[in-house]
Amino acid sequence: MDNFFKDTPDFKFHLEHPIVQKIIKLKERNFEESEQFDYAPLNHDDAIDSYEKILEIVGGICSETIAANAESVDIEGPHIENNEVVYAKGTTANYKALYEAGLIGMSLPRKYGGLNFPLLTYVMAAEMVSRADAGFANIWGLQDCAETICEFGSDEQKEKYLPRFNRDGVTAAMVLTEPDAGSDLQSVKLKATYSEEKQIWILNGVKRFITNGDADISLVLARSEENTSDARGLSMFIYDRNNHAVEVRHLEKKLGIKGSPTCELVFKDAPAELVGKQRFGLIKYVMALMNSARLGVGAQSVGIADAAFREALKYAEDRAQFGKVIIKFPAVYEMITNMKVRIDALRSLLYETTGFVDLSKAYGEAMKERKLEKEERLEMKAYEKLSNVFTPLIKLTASETCNTIAYDSLQIHGGTGFMKDFPIERIYRDARITSIYEGTTQLQAIAAIKGVTTGVFLEQIRKYDSEVLEDNYLLKGKLQEMTLRYEEISEKVINLDSIELLDFHTRRLVEMAGNIIMGYLLVLNSQRNESFTKSAKLYVNLVVSENIEKYNYMNNFETEDLALYKLENSEVLETTI
């Protein structure tokens, strides 16, 4: 059987990135925990060795258990019994395998039973799990909630809830969305009232589209402040399933990720604990939670893309038409090679972003224990800034690209791909949600545009450029030219001083920056490992023309034309009648 870690050398490569040294140093604080915990690393190399060994366990479970169960989970799906969710048999087996291997709560501190692994390794695991079964990745990936409790919960809450993840294998859920509060979470209505008599918070109301809604531990966004209607009236709560005060009313029937239960929940006088401070629910805690979830979707998308690519390759090498295997035809090998090139690019961006998030979080943790040096504080700020714009960038690009790759992979399968005979049919359906949940592509673009307007992207591009060796002058030249064009057009759009116009071109600008960044990352990768040379060249070639197209579109765009895009109600009716 394949091992998803061993058959993807990129993971090892990204673990060798210079930034990892810094992350480990901060997270392991001179490796002092090795005195206290027999499984803590002794030094840097030991830590890396442990990461690789543990990721190999994940890779084995992914191929032998999770991927093997993916089809049956897709068919069986979860169901409701006595107001509770019952997973598909394969889902239960998958979770059990990961739990028994000690892989729940990977990035939690050791004192809470976790492995204290950097986010980087956790995201790699998430990518593999998603390649095996994207729907299942949601259930496993919701251990992110533990991170949020760890970051913002009280010591008492941490002691109470966190050890349960690794020890008992509890599941988690983030309970945010409501029928009238999807992308716009400030309209959340679920009511939280404080009972003076019982000295606890009580939740009442309905939540909808909740992934893994019947989890053991839920983080719930609720309105704690009476007579408010905006974000500042919302707080975050922990609800423990052992209270049996939430009814699962309905499970959604979905296009894809069918193994992951999407629940409608009714809270009936459900006791809950406040996390952190009142009123900070959405503006602080959910934002943090969403950021890790977005990174999670980035990993999920790369995993799906990889699965789709491998299916395409396998099929094209095997399927013969007109007397030869179809991979010999230019139209097919172009698609397949471009898949690989794009995956290399996405993965580079994914782990670059994860490194930024890891470092900013590690500094955050260190700050709780000691005063940071001035230099450290500056660095923390810089990585926070980068995380804030790179996270939506990876979510946007990876989710959109994984859909394209799944589309092309199905195309390569021909008519057979449209049938349920091959995994690509499921992968294609599973891919579709990635550009929607945890903030749509359109919302990611709005979050990432700050990277364009504040110059964070440009600054980072310049930094990459300074690291490109002269040997790579050809690609460097192309990337510099792309950067000039990007700089010119973003300035032009921004200087037109129309928020609406900027909004209109937002995605184009963000994608232009993303293309340049990924181009540089691949070139820099190729300097560390020759196996990226081909991808770097082909990727830059691809995006040079993509960026020219976007540049031309924006450059020729007349602000007045915006009006032409606006459809009045009557006009819509006229055209549809």
Partner 1 sequence: MRPLKIVVLAKQVPDTRHVGPDAMKPDGTVNRGKLSTIFNPDDLHAMELALNIKDRVPGTTVTLLTMGPPKAADIIREGYYRGVDNGVMISDRRFGGADTLATSYTLVKGIQKLAPFDLILGGRQAIDGDTAQVGPQCANKLKIPQVTYVEEILEISENEIIAKRRLEKGVETVSSPFPCLMTVHGSSPVCRSRHAKNVMKYKYARTATELRSADEMLKSLHEKRPYLTIPEWKVEDIEANIEKIGLAGSPTKVKSVENIILTANEAKFLNESDADIELMIKELIEHHTIG
Residues that bind partner 1 (CB under 8 A): 38-42, 49-50, 53-54, 57, 60-61, 97, 100-103, 106, 115
CB of 283 to partner 1, least distance (A): 35
- Helix axis angle, 287-318 to 134-141, nearest 10°: 150
CB of 509 to partner 1, least distance (A): 42
Q: What is the largest CA-CA distance in the chain?
A: 80
The nearer residue to partner 1, 106 or 202, going by C-beta atoms, is: 106
The nearer residue to partner 1, 93 or 548, going by C-beta atoms, is: 93
In this structure, how many other beta carbons lie within 10 angstroms of the beta carbon of residue 563?
8
Q: How far is CA 17 from CA 248, 339, 471, in A?
A: 45, 24, 21
The nearer residue to partner 1, 70 or 339, going by C-beta atoms, is: 70
CB of 192 to partner 1, least distance (A): 37
The nearer residue to partner 1, 102 or 271, going by C-beta atoms, is: 102
Q: Where are the alpha helices (DSSP H) in 43-162?
A: 44-61, 67-76, 89-100, 119-132, 134-141, 144-152, 155-161
Question: How many angstroms separate the first and last alpha carbons of the chain?
Answer: 57
Residue 288 DSSP SS3: helix
CB of 450 to partner 1, least distance (A): 38
CB of 106 to partner 1, least distance (A): 8
3-class SS letters over 440-471: CHHHHHHHHHHHHHCCHHHHHHHHHHHHCCHH
Q: How far is CA 193 from CA 109, 199, 244, 269, 274, in A?
A: 32, 10, 18, 9, 11
Residue 231 gets which letter from DSSP?
G
The nearer residue to partner 1, 55 or 142, going by C-beta atoms, is: 55
Of 158, 137, 130, give the one whose Cα is nearest residue 146.
Answer: 158
Render the burial of 63-86: b for 16+ CB within 10 Å, e for the rest.
Answer: bbbbbbbbeebbebbbebeeeebe
| Distance, CA of 8 to CA of 213 (rounded, Å) | 33
Q: Phi and psi at residue 457, in whole multiples of 5°? A: -60, -45
Record the tokens describing residue 435, joined without a space. Answer: 């550009």
The nearer residue to partner 1, 38 or 558, going by C-beta atoms, is: 38
CB of 50 to partner 1, least distance (A): 5
CB of 119 to partner 1, least distance (A): 16
CB of 103 to partner 1, least distance (A): 6
The nearer residue to partner 1, 37 or 553, going by C-beta atoms, is: 37
CB of 293 to partner 1, least distance (A): 23
Asked if residue 358 lies in contact with residue 23, where contact means CB atoms within 8 angstroms, the answer is yes
The nearer residue to partner 1, 114 or 261, going by C-beta atoms, is: 114
Record the tokens describing residue 414, joined without a space. Answer: 């021909």
CB of 63 to partner 1, least distance (A): 11
Record the tokens describing residue 134, joined without a space. Answer: 């994207």
In DSSP terms, which residues pair with 264 in a beta bridge? 250
The nearer residue to partner 1, 3 or 171, going by C-beta atoms, is: 3
The nearer residue to partner 1, 53 or 381, going by C-beta atoms, is: 53
The nearer residue to partner 1, 57 or 458, going by C-beta atoms, is: 57
DSSP 319-372: -EETTEEGGGSHHHHHHHHHHHHHHHHHHHHHHHHHHHHHHHHHHHHHHHHSPP
CB of 182 to partner 1, least distance (A): 37
